[in-house]
Amino acid sequence: MAVKQNQAIRNIAIIAHVDHGKTTLVDHMFRQAGVFQAHEELQDRVMDSMDLEKERGITISAKNCSIQWKGVRINILDTPGHADFGGEVERALMMVDGAILLVDSSEGPLPQTRFVLSKALQANKKIIVVVNKIDRKDARPDEILNQVYDLFIDLDANDSQIEFPVLYAIGRDGIAKKSLDVESTDLSPLFDQILETVPGPSYKEDEPFQMLCLNLTYSDYLGRMAIGRVFHGSTQKSDKLVVIGKDGKPNPLKVTKLQVYEGVSYKEVDEAQPGDVIILAGAEDVEIGDTITTRDNPKALPRVVVDEPTIAMRFFVNSSPFAGKEGKFVQFPRIKERLLKETLFNVALKVEETGGETLIVKGRGEFQMAIIIEQMRREGYELTVGRPEIIMKEIDGVRCEPIEHLFIDCSDQFIGAVTEKLARRKGKMTNMINNGTGRIRLEFNIPARGLIGYRNEFLTDTRGTGLMNSYLQGYEPYRGEIESRLTGSLVSDREGECIPYALFHLEPRGTLFVTPGTPVYEGMIIGECNRDGDLDVNVNKAKKLTNVRASGKDDNIVLTPVTPLTLERAIEFIRDDELVEVTPKSIRLRKVVLPANRRK
C-alpha cells in the first residue's frame, strides 16, 4: 500500500507548563495569520474559553483551531499543562504529527512539560523547541536549552528526536527568531519552521475513509458533534457512514453537517481530506475513541488509550439541614446524569454507582476533581463530597500504590521544614539542585496519598513563596501508614448564627473558617482545632447583659480576618469522617454523623 502525505495540512500541538505563555503565543499566531479581520475585536487568551480557565490562568480542556500560512492550513491544538488533565493531552497527541515545546527562559522545563513531552516522544512526534520570555530580567536561555537537551536524554529520546530546531520568542509581543542575536518583528520564523519540520499527515490511498473521534462538543442547533482526525480516505456530506464502538459492531450514522476549523470557529465544507481535523454534526451515538468509517468497507482504528485513574472521591446528595436552600439541582438522578455526561467528554474520568445515593468518581488527581465540582457548583448543583482516596493496585500479588515524582522550588531557608514534613509523609529525596541564587530545587518520590492535604501546609511553611509540581511516576509497594492531619476540628453543637462574642472567645482554640452572621448547624465544622481531637463548641453564645457597668467591659470586639475557604482547601482539609458540602453560594465542612451524641 502506497503511503502518501497531504502537504496542504499540518497538525501540531503546543506543549508547555502552566503559565509559560502558551495561550498568549496562540493569540499572536491568530493575529499575524489574519484569523481576525481588521474590524474585529481582538480578544485576549481566546483559546481559554471556559470561565474557570480565564480566572485561574490555566488551560483545562484541549481545544482546536486553525490558521492559514503560505497556502497551508495549520491545525493547532492547545493542550493543558497540568498532569491531572492528562486524558486531554493523550487525545490531543493522537490528532497531531508534531509539537511545539514552549519553555520559559528563566524557569526551564518543569514537571508538566516533562509529562506531556514524554507522551509526545513515545508517540514519535516531531518537536520544535521554543524558548519563550527571553525579555525577562532573569532570562538564561543558554542554560535552559541545556536543561531541555538533558530532559530529552532523560526521556530516552532517539538521535533524530534530539536534533530538534530551536527558536527564541517573546510571546507577549508576538516575536520569534532563530538565534538570540538576530532581529525579528513577527512570528514568521515559527510558521516557516512548522512547515519545514512537521510532516504533512500520512495516509494510505487505497484505505477506506477512517476518522477517529477524539473529542465531543454540543450545539443547541446541531446536537452532539464528533471532533476527530481523518486518518485515511476522504468523505463527503452525502456519503453513507457507520460508527464502530467498543463492541466492534458498525451502526449507521447520518451526518447532517461536515465542518473544519477556521480560526476558532467552524466552516462548512463539502469534502474532508485525509489528515484533516473535522467536525461531524449528527453524531448522536458516537463516543470518544469510536471509529467513523464507510458503510461498504467498515474498518476500526485502535481506540484511545489513557492512563488509569489514581484517585477516587465519593459524591453524595446534600443531606445537611440547609439542603435545597441554595441550589437548583439537588436530587441524586440529576447529579448522576451530570457526572455521566462529564465522562462522555472526559475520557480520564470514570463513574461507578455503589448502591444507595452514592457515586464513586475516579480521576487523575484532586485538582481535576476540584475543577469538576466547581463547574457543577456554578451550574446550580448542590452535593456533598468525601475525602480523596488513592486507588491501590495489585502487581504480582503485592499491594502497590501510585508514586508521584515531586519537584519543589523554594528558598534555601525552608529546606529543613519541607524535608521534615515530606519525610513524615513517606517521601524520599532523590535530587537537590542549588544554582547559588538563594533558591533550591528539590526532587522527591512520594506516595500520591502523602500529597493529599500537603499543598496548604507547604505554602505556610515557605511563606507563600514555594512552587510545588508533580507527575505520576509509577506504582511501588505500599509504604505503610501516613499520619493525616495532626489537628482536630471545631464543630458547632447547635443550629443558629455565628455571634462575634462567641467567635472572639473561640479564637485561642484554633483557626476559624466562619465570620459573624454565618448560619451554622449541629455537626458543621467552623474551624481547625489547635489540638488533636474534635471540640464541640457553641458559636451562638451571646454576652449576658447586666445592669452593672464598668469601664473596659464593653470594648468593641475585633476578630482576626478569616481566609475564605476555597474548594481545593476544603477538600485537602477534611479527614475520613468529614465531608465538604458544596452549593452554588457556599462551601461548608461537616461531619459525616451530625448529632454530637452519636459521634462520641
Share of the chain above pLDDT 70, in %: 88
Closest CA to 408 of 437, 389, 432: 432
Decide if pLDDT at 363 tops 90. no
What is the spatial distance between Cα 215 and Cα 527, in angstroms, rounded to a whole number? 43
What is the spatial distance between Cα 414 and Cα 316, in angstroms, rounded to a whole number? 40
Predicted confidence band of residue 38 (pLDDT cuts 50, 70, 90): very low
CB-facing half-sphere around the CA of 480: CA atoms within 13 A: 6
Decide if pLDDT at 298 tops 70. yes
Torsion angle (degrees, nearest 10) of CA 344, 348, 354, 356: -50
| 447 and 495, same domain (yes or no) | no
Task: State residue 292's pLDDT score.
Answer: 86
Q: Which domain CATH number covers 503?
A: 2.40.50.250
| 66 and 183, same domain (yes or no) | yes
The Cα angle at residue 243 between residues 242 and 249, in degrees rounded to 5: 95
Task: State residue 220's pLDDT score.
Answer: 67
Task: State residue 170's pLDDT score.
Answer: 84
What is the spatial distance between Cα 46 and Cα 59, in angstroms, rounded to a whole number? 11
Predicted confidence band of residue 41 (pLDDT cuts 50, 70, 90): very low
| 176 and 242, same domain (yes or no) | no
**Domain residue limits at 532:** 489-599
Task: State residue 588's pLDDT score.
Answer: 92
Indicate whether 30 belongs to any domain.
yes
Predicted confidence band of residue 590 (pLDDT cuts 50, 70, 90): very high
Closest CA to 413 of 438, 386, 450: 438
| 497 and 427, same domain (yes or no) | no
Task: State residue 293's pLDDT score.
Answer: 86
Predicted confidence band of residue 519 (pLDDT cuts 50, 70, 90): very high
Task: State residue 560's pLDDT score.
Answer: 84
Kind of pairing between the strands at 311-316 and 350-353: unpaired
Decide if pLDDT at 387 tops 60. yes
Segment among 16-20, 154-158, 377-381, 384-388 with least mean pLDDT: 16-20
| 123 and 215, same domain (yes or no) | no
What is the spatial distance between Cα 18 and Cα 284, in angstroms, rounded to a whole number? 34
Using alpha carbons, list the distances in angstroms from residue 89 to 60, 100, 263, 302. 10, 13, 21, 17
Segment among 36-45, 201-210, 388-397 with least mean pLDDT: 36-45
| Maximum alpha-carbon separation in the chain | 101
| 111 and 13, same domain (yes or no) | yes
Q: Positive or negative CA dihedral for 413, 422, 373, 472?
A: positive
What is the mean pLDDT of the segment spanning 310-328?
88
| 521 and 587, same domain (yes or no) | yes
- pTM score, two decimals? 0.72
| 20 and 132, same domain (yes or no) | yes
Question: Tens digit of pLDDT for each residue in 46-96?
Answer: 444 445 544 454 544 445 778 888 888 888 887 765 555 555 666 777 888
What is the mean pLDDT of the segment spanning 432-455?
83
Indicate whether 369 belongs to any domain.
no
Burial class of 144 by CB neighbour count within 10 A (0 to 12, 13 to 18, 19+): buried
Where among 275, 294, 313 does a domain terminate? 294
Indicate whether 364 belongs to any domain.
no
What is the mean pLDDT of the segment spanning 261-267?
75
Where among 179, 202, 225 does a domain terminate? 202
Task: State residue 53's pLDDT score.
Answer: 47
Task: State residue 524's pLDDT score.
Answer: 92
Contacts of 546 (CB under 8 A, 6+ apart): none
| 179 and 108, same domain (yes or no) | yes
Task: State residue 49's pLDDT score.
Answer: 44
Closest CA to 168 of 214, 223, 105, 220: 105
| 527 and 589, same domain (yes or no) | yes
| 518 and 572, same domain (yes or no) | yes
The answer to whether the CB of 427 falls within 8 A of the CB of 451 is no
Indicate whether 387 belongs to any domain.
no
Segment among 33-42, 145-154, 497-506, 507-516 with least mean pLDDT: 33-42
More confident position, 89 or 187: 187
Where among 180, 202, 224 does a domain terminate? 202
Q: Which domain CATH number covers 467?
A: 3.30.70.240
Indicate whether 136 belongs to any domain.
yes
Q: Which domain CATH number covers 185?
A: 3.40.50.300
Indicate whether 432 belongs to any domain.
yes
| 45 and 181, same domain (yes or no) | yes
What is the crossing angle of helices 366-378 and 332-345, to 10°? 120
Question: Tens digit of pLDDT for each residue in 469-494?
Answer: 777 788 889 888 887 777 889 999 88
The answer to whether the CB of 433 falls within 8 A of the CB of 441 is yes
Predicted confidence band of residue 295 (pLDDT cuts 50, 70, 90): confident
Task: State residue 45's pLDDT score.
Answer: 43
Indicate whether 316 belongs to any domain.
no
Indicate whether 189 belongs to any domain.
yes
Segment among 80-89, 269-278, 412-421, 445-454 with least mean pLDDT: 80-89
What's the number of domains the chain is made of? 4
Contacts of 102 (CB under 8 A, 6+ apart): 14, 15, 16, 20, 21, 22, 25, 130, 132, 169, 171
The answer to whether the CB of 455 falls within 8 A of the CB of 468 is yes
Q: Which domain CATH number covers 212?
A: 2.40.30.10
Task: State residue 155's pLDDT score.
Answer: 81
Segment among 315-329, 403-417, 555-569 with least mean pLDDT: 555-569
More confident position, 32 or 46: 32
What is the spatial distance between Cα 31 and Cα 226, in angstroms, rounded to a whole number? 28
Task: State residue 60's pLDDT score.
Answer: 46
